[in-house]
Amino acid sequence: MPQLDGKLGIVFGVANKRSLAWAIARALDSAGARLALAYQGERFEKGVRELASGLRNALVLPCDVTRDGDLDSLFERVRSSFGALDLAVHAVAYAKPEDLEGGYLATSREGFGLAHDVSVYSLTAIARRAAPLMEGREGSIVTLTYLGGERVVPNYNVMGVAKAALESSVRYLAADLGPAGVRVNAISAGPVRTLSSAGVSGFVGILDRVAQSAPLRRNVEPEEIAEAAVFLLSRAARGITGEVLHVDCGFHVLGV
Ligand SMILES: NC(=O)c1ccc[n+]([C@@H]2O[C@H](COP(=O)([O-])OP(=O)(O)OC[C@H]3O[C@@H](n4cnc5c(N)ncnc54)[C@H](O)[C@@H]3O)[C@@H](O)[C@H]2O)c1
């Protein structure tokens, strides 16, 4: 695995040990990075602190990504503790449960706005605050997306539309931040059982379908997604930006 010794990173989206953000945090820690973990709110604090105690000297800080004040104070704490930043991981998404079943047609204006605020705008809000700390350090930002942003996946609905906007944001942010040497990429992960994915109606059926028909005839493991993230965040990927890398056992190549 590429080495990240001495690198300073921030990871958004650890809720529990099943979180893809947690798999990524562990892999970054093993590769030598020192991390700040940003958790959503009080409900998650105890669990995230327990997990973080197994990492090297991690900072654990609250941040609701829909609140500019939270983001400002978080990045101020990171600046005062770390002084700079090399890596940022955005593994955050939310849509109302009623918008993750039935048809997309029923999506309310409020549900559409909420899903896009939490799952899409937050990447831009984070990148804007991270970039100044990455100045002159060849910074790298990675977000997580899903095939439902490219194709219709039953019940994924507004989250699919949000992932399409997230992937487009990756390309625009890559163009904006490239001149400063900061790279922005996405991993399109295959389905993994987590708190968020459990909210998508019929998710277990998706896991079964992928295991039966993906070229590798199985589902992806969180560690495989995490190691791809370490690659994109490392110097090994220094020529790659604006990219969406599928880590899904090949499922996305299938036509039928
Ligand atoms: N699990 C999958 O099958 C899968 C597949 C592809 C992509 N993804 C993406 O991976 C990312 C991580 O999801 P996960 O599956 O690990 O589930 P998860 O539930 O463990 O992580 C989602 C995180 O988003 C955070 N979050 C939600 N609203 C927030 C807010 N307002 N402020 C701050 N944080 C907030 C939650 O606290 C949680 O930590 C998401 O973007 C998801 O869409 C997941």
Is the minimum distance from the CB of 148 to ligand 1 under 6 angstroms?
A: no
CATH 3.40.50.720 at 8-251, yes or no: yes
CA of residue 151 to ligand 1 center, whole Å = 20
Which ligand 1 atom lies nearest to the CA of residue 70? 32
Q: What angle, rounded to 10 degrees, do the helices at 157-177 and 122-130 form? A: 20
Question: What digits encode the pLDDT tens for the residues 192-242?
Answer: 999 999 999 999 999 999 999 999 999 999 999 999 999 999 999 999 999
State the pLDDT at residue 127. 98
Q: Choose the residue to mutate in 12, 74, 194, 249 for probing ligand 1, maximizing ligand atoms within 8 Å of C-beta.
A: 194
Catalytic residue among 39, 121, 156, 172: 156
Distance between Cα 78 and ligand 1 center (Å): 22
Is 156 an active-site residue?
yes
The Cα 19–Cα 146 span in angstroms is: 15
**What is the pLDDT at residue 1?**
85
Instruction: Answer yes or no: is the C-beta of 196 below 6 A from any ligand 1 atom.
Output: yes
Contact 147, 252 (CB under 8 A): yes
Other C-beta atoms within 10 Å of 65: how many? 23
**What percent of the chain clears pLDDT 90, i.e. is strictly above it?**
98
Query: Domain segments of the chain: what residues?
Result: 8-251
pLDDT digits (tens, 9 = 90+) for 156-191: 999 999 999 999 999 999 999 999 999 999 999 999
**H or E segment and range at residue 145:** strand 140-145
Instruction: Clarify whether 121 is annotated catalytic.
Output: no
Separation of CA 256 and ligand 1 centre (Å): 28
Quick check: CB of 144 below 6 Å from ligand 1?
yes
* Residue 147: pLDDT band with limits 50, 70, 90: very high
List pLDDT tens digits, range 68-104: 999 999 999 999 999 999 999 999 999 999 999 999 9
